[in-house]
């Protein structure tokens, strides 16, 4: 398992892209251009990026309510994502989905999901499709620690294991659910340990260390692609912001948040790792950041230039009305 400088630089840039995109989306919410809820992924970037660095464009990805990072890491177009948050016709979903439903079917990003654990069953189903067709795609499903309480987690992992499906179940254990600490509503510490009930390998990794996530995911992807069945990965991570914008966060201390921001920021950690190896210097770092800033700014400009969905759009896309049954 050796990480190249190139790969690290790519992952570094991808983490920055997520960070800056989200901070900007949050700013736009303040301006009123973006409406609805934003569930910020900041602090957890290493999970999406470390996992997705192992994926091919034709691999399947299913997300959560907190999926900006997953979508960007899998390659979704930033312009169209920003336009979606703006509710524009040119947005990823034509303005019909918003933050919780971003999808890009051309990249097999089958969608963020507003239902906690709502993607686990469908992700398992994409694995079943792959198995039936005999292709070698893998499916990745992200979900939070809170999702591990839901029955669909239990049923989905059972099916994945029973049929040895090429699915990687990635639990982003950020220690909190909506406004409650995991420890107050869970009975086991490690979600990875629950894999035993499904006769499935379960691994727990430091979700702030993108190299660790990359390695764990790589192993799981390799196993899945070669017919070895599913894996449950628990990435221990932390969200820097509240559950969604406006959360007063009374359930945790500022000091705790500050600690993670200072010492456990996945971007800082990767920067240090690369600097140690001379893979990143001040100049490259500045270049990356300014490129990312430019890309995000461009996405805002793009979104501003987009059009509102047409009135007719409201009744389109309910069913495929062009379809007519033929003999």
Q: Of residues 232-251, which lie at the interface with ligand TPP (CB under 6 A)?
A: 243
Could you say whether residue 104 binds other proteins (CB under 8 A)? Answer: yes
Question: Torsion-angle region of residue 323: left (phi > 0), alpha (psi -120 to 50) or beta?
Answer: beta
The nearer residue to other proteins, 125 or 202, going by C-beta atoms, is: 125
Q: Per CB under 8 A, does 186 bind a copy of itself?
A: yes
Q: Over the Cα atoms of the chain, what is R_g?
A: 19
Hey, which residues between 29 and 58 contact other proteins (CB under 8 A)? 35-37
Query: Which residue number is nearest to Mg ion in terms of Cβ?
Result: 144
Q: Which is nearer to a copy of itself, 194 or 233 (CB)?
A: 194
In 3D space, the residue among 121, 104, 111 whose CA is nearest the CA of residue 169 turns out to be: 121
Round to whole Å and give the CA distance between 74 and 56: 9
How many CA atoms does the CB half-sphere of 186 hold within 13 Å? 22
The three-state secondary structure class of 111 is coil
Which of these ranges, 21-29, 40-48, 88-96, 142-150, lies near Mg ion under the rule CB under 5 A? 142-150
Residue 195, C-beta contacts closer than 8 angstroms, at least 6 positions apart: 157, 201, 202, 231, 232
- Answer yes or no whether residue 158 interacts with a copy of itself by CB under 8 A: yes
Nearer to a copy of itself, 180 or 286 (CB): 180
Scan residues 168-207 and list those touching ligand TPP (CB under 6 A).
Answer: 172, 174, 176-178
Which one of 73-81, 170-178, 193-201, 283-291 is the stretch in contact with Mg ion (CB under 5 A)?
Answer: 170-178
Nearest to 45 by CA among 11, 76, 79, 1: 11
Considering the complex, state which of residue 162 and residue 301 has its C-beta at the smaller distance from a copy of itself. Answer: 162
Measured CA to CA, the distance from residue 193 to residue 299 in angstroms comes to 41
Instruction: With CB under 8 A as the rule, give the number of residues binding a copy of itself.
Output: 21
Positions touching ligand TPP (CB under 6 A) are: 65-66, 114-116, 144-147, 172, 174, 176-178, 243
């Amino acid at each position: 398992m050796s990480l190249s400088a190139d790969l690290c630089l790519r992952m570094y840039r991808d983490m920055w892209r997520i960070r800056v995109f989200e901070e900007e989306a949050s700013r736009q919410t303040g301006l009123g251009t973006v409406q609805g809820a934003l569930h910020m992924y900041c602090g957890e970037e290493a999970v999406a990026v470390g996992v997705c660095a192992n994926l091919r464009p034709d691999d399947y990805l299913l997300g959560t309510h907190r999926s900006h990072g997953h979508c960007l890491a899998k390659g979704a177009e930033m312009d169209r994502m920003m336009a979606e948050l703006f509710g524009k016709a040119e947005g990823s979903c034509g303005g019909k989905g918003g933050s919780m439903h971003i999808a890009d079917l051309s990249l097999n990003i089958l969608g963020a999901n507003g239902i906690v654990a709502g993607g686990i069953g469908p992700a398992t189903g994409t694995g079943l499709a792959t198995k039936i067709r005999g292709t070698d795609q893998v499916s990745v499903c992200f979900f939070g620690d809170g999702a591990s309480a839901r029955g669909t987690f239990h049923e989905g992992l059972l099916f994945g294991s029973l049929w040895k499906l090429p699915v990687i179940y990635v639990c982003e254990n950020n220690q909190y659910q909506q406004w409650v600490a995991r420890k107050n509503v869970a009975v086991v510490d490690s979600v990875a340990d629950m894999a035993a009930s499904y006769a499935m390998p379960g691994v727990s990794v430091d979700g702030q260390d993108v190299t660790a996530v990359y390695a764990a995911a790589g192993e799981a992807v390799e196993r899945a692609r070669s017919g070895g069945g599913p894996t449950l990965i628990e990435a221990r991570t932390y969200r820097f912001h509240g559950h969604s914008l406006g959360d007063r966060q009374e359930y945790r201390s500022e000091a705790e948040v500050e600690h993670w921001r200072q010492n456990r920021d996945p971007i800082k950690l990767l920067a240090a790792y690369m600097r140690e190896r001379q893979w990143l210097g001040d100049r490259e770092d500045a270049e990356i950041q300014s490129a990312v800033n430019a890309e995000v700014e461009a996405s805002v400009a793009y979104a501003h230039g987009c059009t509102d969905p047409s009135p007719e759009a409201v009744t389109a896309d309910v069913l495929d009305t062009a379809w007519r049954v033929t003999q």
